[in-house]
């Protein structure tokens, strides 16, 4: 019996995953709470899974940082029993970042001319088992961050090409993370593809989103695996940000607008994440985050007061920090340190009487601590 059968929404029950692939399936953490969007998307995908051209396999989640886009993508991996993987896009991405890298295999003498750390990196790549992408090898074997791995790979490609000699050089192709997911049928989160500048790179990405498509690799033509699901996650475009490319948007079959969750959900998630239980306190803190979020938007202040700030703020208070002081260093200064903007945010809180509520909380928390100690 394989583990996928236990998943809630089975897509391809016949499919067998390798041990490595099973390890990539996200396990819902204790603190994970299913959301309305998660249920809706899961049901939509299942409903249309075997409906040919009506299949839903390209999803867009658009909304501010911290609204739960990545976690939702991971939850879908758990729901469908699909391996989860991701790419983080950056402005000057090129085609090798979409398709993959071609590297000459250097001889031992060739390798020895290189610096030791470059030798080690190339060796790790040459010894790769073909399961991991080149950047994944660099991150897992040599502990590079994903960003470092991307630039390291570019540098190695150039280096290896400069040192490749003679006519009998063997070249090896290392598929990108995107190609790997496309070919083997994983759930791929593509973060922020709106930042990509090069139109040719966007075109390559577009063809990877074609439902019934194929990709031309230097080594072969591969077809889209029927289980390949793409979840594009982007921050909502604010003034000055590049909007998501129209052609990409057009290939999406289901889109969700991600906002700060409701106050109740915020409180529920904070309890699950931090273990802090005082709902009276959490209620006020959540109201403050919501008010700041609105005020920042209304005044075109660029920073966000999101779920992450909320969790760290709650955690600080749970650890004994003053609620009012920590409001500044856990939330407000993360939005802005500009005095005029801070004043606007404070005004918004005062208008709702929330600074006052926060001060009252301070007394309430102290009383609680006293009674805890006397117990």
Ligand X SMILES: Nc1ncnc2c1ncn2[C@@H]1O[C@H](COP(=O)(O)OP(=O)(O)O)[C@@H](O)[C@H]1O
Closer residue to Mg ion in complex, CB, 122/244: 244
Using the rule CB under 6 A, give the single segment among 111-119, 142-150, 307-315, 351-359 that binds ligand X: 307-315
Residue 293 burial (CB count, 10 A):
20
- CA 188/CA 175 separation, integer angstroms: 14
Going through the chain in order, the beta strands assigned E by DSSP cover 58-63, 84-88, 100-105, 170-175, 187-191, 214-216, 221-223, 229-234, 254-258
Using the rule CB under 6 A, give the single segment among 67-75, 153-161, 217-225, 288-296 that binds ligand X: 67-75
Give the count of residues interacting with ligand X (CB under 6 A). 17
Q: In whole angstroms, how close is the CB of 192 to Mg ion at the nearest point?
A: 9
Could you give the count of Cα atoms lying within 13 Å of 166 in the half-sphere of its Cβ? 9
- CA 65/CA 307 separation, integer angstroms: 8
Q: Which of residues 255-294 bind ligand X (CB under 6 A)?
A: 269, 272
Which of 48, 70, 214, 336 is in the footprint of Mg ion by CB under 5 A? 70
Check: CB of residue 26 under 8 Å from CB of residue 241: no
Using the rule CB under 6 A, give the single segment among 66-74, 105-113, 131-139, 343-351 that binds ligand X: 66-74
Site membership for ligand X, residue 88 (CB under 6 A): no
Contacts (Cβ under 8 Å, ≥6 apart) of 165:
107, 110
Which of 26, 49, 59, 68 is in the footprint of ligand X by CB under 6 A? 68
Site membership for ligand X, residue 35 (CB under 6 A): yes
Radius of gyration, CA atoms only, the chain: 24
Contacts (Cβ under 8 Å, ≥6 apart) of 168:
none
Give the count of residues interacting with Mg ion (CB under 5 A). 2
Contact track, ligand X, 227-246, x by CB under 6 A: ------x-------------
Closer residue to Mg ion in complex, CB, 175/261: 261
Check: CB of residue 100 under 8 Å from CB of residue 182: no
Q: What is the DSSP string of 218-286?
A: SS-EEEPPTT-EEEEEEPPP-TTSPPPPHHHHHT-SEEEEE-PPPHHHHHHHHHHHH----HHHHHHHH
Q: In whole angstroms, how close is the CB of 155 to ligand X at the nearest point?
A: 29
Which of 42, 58, 67, 274 is in the footprint of ligand X by CB under 6 A? 67
Closer residue to ligand X in complex, CB, 68/303: 68
Q: In whole angstroms, how close is the CB of 368 to Mg ion at the nearest point?
A: 35
Contact track, ligand X, 90-129, x by CB under 6 A: ----------------------------------------
The token duo for 77 is: 């991996």
Which of 22, 33, 55, 225 is in the footprint of ligand X by CB under 6 A? 33
Collapsing DSSP to helix, strand or coil, 86 comes out as: strand
Pairing of the two strands 84-88 and 187-191 = parallel
The token duo for 324 is: 């009012």
Site membership for ligand X, residue 180 (CB under 6 A): no
Which of 66, 104, 110, 185 is in the footprint of ligand X by CB under 6 A? 66
Site membership for Mg ion, residue 107 (CB under 5 A): no
Site membership for ligand X, residue 307 (CB under 6 A): yes
Contacts (Cβ under 8 Å, ≥6 apart) of 140:
132
Site membership for ligand X, residue 206 (CB under 6 A): no
Site membership for Mg ion, residue 88 (CB under 5 A): no
Kindly list the residues in this chain that would bind ligand X in the complex (CB under 6 A). Answer: 31-33, 35, 65-71, 233, 269, 272, 307-308, 311
Kindly list the residues in this chain that would bind Mg ion in the complex (CB under 5 A). Answer: 69-70
């Amino acid at each position: 019996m394989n583990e996928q059968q236990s998943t809630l929404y089975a897509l391809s029950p016949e499919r067998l995953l390798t041990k490595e692939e099973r390890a990539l399936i996200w396990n819902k953490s204790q603190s994970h709470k299913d959301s309305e969007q998660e249920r809706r998307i899961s049901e939509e995908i299942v409903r249309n899974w075997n409906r040919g051209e009506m299949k839903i396999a390209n999803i867009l989640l658009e909304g501010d940082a911290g609204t739960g886009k990545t976690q939702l993508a991971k939850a879908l991996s758990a729901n469908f029993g699909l391996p989860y993987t991701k790419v983080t896009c950056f402005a000057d991405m090129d085609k090798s970042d979409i398709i993959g890298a071609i590297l000459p295999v250097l001889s031992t003498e060739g390798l020895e001319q290189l610096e030791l750390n470059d030798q080690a990196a190339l060796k790790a790549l040459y010894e790769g088992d073909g399961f991991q992408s080149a950047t994944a090898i660099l991150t897992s074997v040599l502990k590079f961050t994903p960003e470092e791995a991307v630039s390291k790979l570019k540098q190695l490609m150039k280096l290896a090409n400069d040192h490749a000699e003679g006519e009998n050089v063997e070249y090896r192709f290392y598929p990108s993370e995107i190609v790997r997911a496309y070919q083997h049928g994983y759930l791929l989160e593509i973060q922020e593809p709106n930042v990509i500048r090069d139109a040719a790179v966007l075109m390559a990405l577009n063809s990877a989103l074609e439902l019934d498509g194929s990709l031309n690799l230097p080594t072969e033509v591969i077809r889209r695996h029927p289980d390949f699901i793409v979840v594009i996650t982007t921050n909502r475009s604010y003034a000055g940000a590049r909007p998501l490319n129209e052609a990409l948007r057009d290939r999406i079959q289901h889109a969700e607008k991600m906002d700060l969750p409701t106050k109740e959900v915020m409180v529920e998630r904070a309890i699950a994440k931090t273990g802090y239980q005082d709902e009276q306190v959490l209620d006020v803190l959540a109201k403050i985050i919501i008010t700041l979020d609105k005020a920042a938007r209304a005044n075109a202040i660029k920073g966000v007061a999101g779920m992450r700030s909320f969790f760290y703020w709650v955690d600080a208070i749970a650890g004994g920090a003053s609620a009012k002081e920590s409001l500044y260093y856990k939330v407000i200064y993360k939005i802005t340190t500009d005095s005029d903007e801070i004043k606007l945010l404070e005004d918004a809180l005062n208008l709702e009487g929330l600074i006052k509520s926060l001060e009252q909380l301070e007394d309430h928390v102290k009383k609680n601590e006293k009674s805890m100690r006397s117990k």
